Amino acid sequence: MSLLLIPAIDLKDGQCVRLRQGDLNDATIFSGNPGEQAAHWVAQGARRIHIVDLNGAVAGKPKNESAIKAIIQSAGPDVPVQVGGGIRDLDTIERFLDDGASFVVIGTAAVKNPGLLKDACAAFPGQIIVSIDAKDGKVATDGWSKLSGHEVIDLAQKFEDDGVSAVLYTDIGRDGMMTGVNLDATVRLAQSVSIPIIASGGIAGMQDIKDLAAVESEGIMGAILGRALYEGKLNLEQAQAYADAAGAADAD
């Protein structure tokens, strides 16, 4: 296996933006056409696209559905799309999957409404990813505005029992800051569960890809790429080629 590099498309008011540390008031607009942006990443060799409905995460229900549909359509049938942000019930999950999403990412609701996650994993096996956003080892909810008392590893182990297909782990102190990925915490988490981990937050350039590729065998299946891609600090095609070569070398 090789590390899967997943471009993120963060949606605010129908536009592609990047935030710093999850602050909706600190948004940089990168594109007014989310579908076009998705097509661009696919042309660069993206094998999966990650969508976050930022307005939805704060409102507790999806707010950018037309943009999400445009992205799924642009990505085409061969590039899976994972959608998160404000997903709080089974009906919404079903709607996104019906719209063509391959995976649905549940964050806040998984912490606040554990029954929902269990039901979702039973209803849509293999299609539910749980998102754990953390600061200093504690889990944050509600668009990162609230810190809970939960420890990351305890929660991940519980979600593993529920049947989630992967854990998306974000260090929110680093997100959008391009200060480098929190490798130690990501590896610790991967070692504590048997489900794959997707790393997120702070990936700044090629060194982070090299660092993650080197520990991929610990159970890190992929990485979400945001600001570094949008600001041209990282070339998706080159980065994925490196990850593939590293994965092939490990397999030998």
* Residues labelled catalytic: 10, 133
DSSP string, 141-181: ETTTTEEEEEEHHHHHHHHHHHT-SEEEEEETTTTTTTS--
Exposure string over 76-104, b if 16+ CB within 10 A, otherwise e: eeebbbbbbbbbbeeebbeebbeebbbbb
Task: Kindly state the greatest CA–CA separation across the chain.
Answer: 48
Per the listing, tokens 């008011």 go with: 13
Angle at 224 (CA atoms; ends 28, 238), nearest 5 degrees: 95
Cα atoms found within 13 Å of the Cα of residue 82, Cβ hemisphere only? 28
User: Helices in 113-150 by DSSP H: which ranges?
Assistant: 114-123
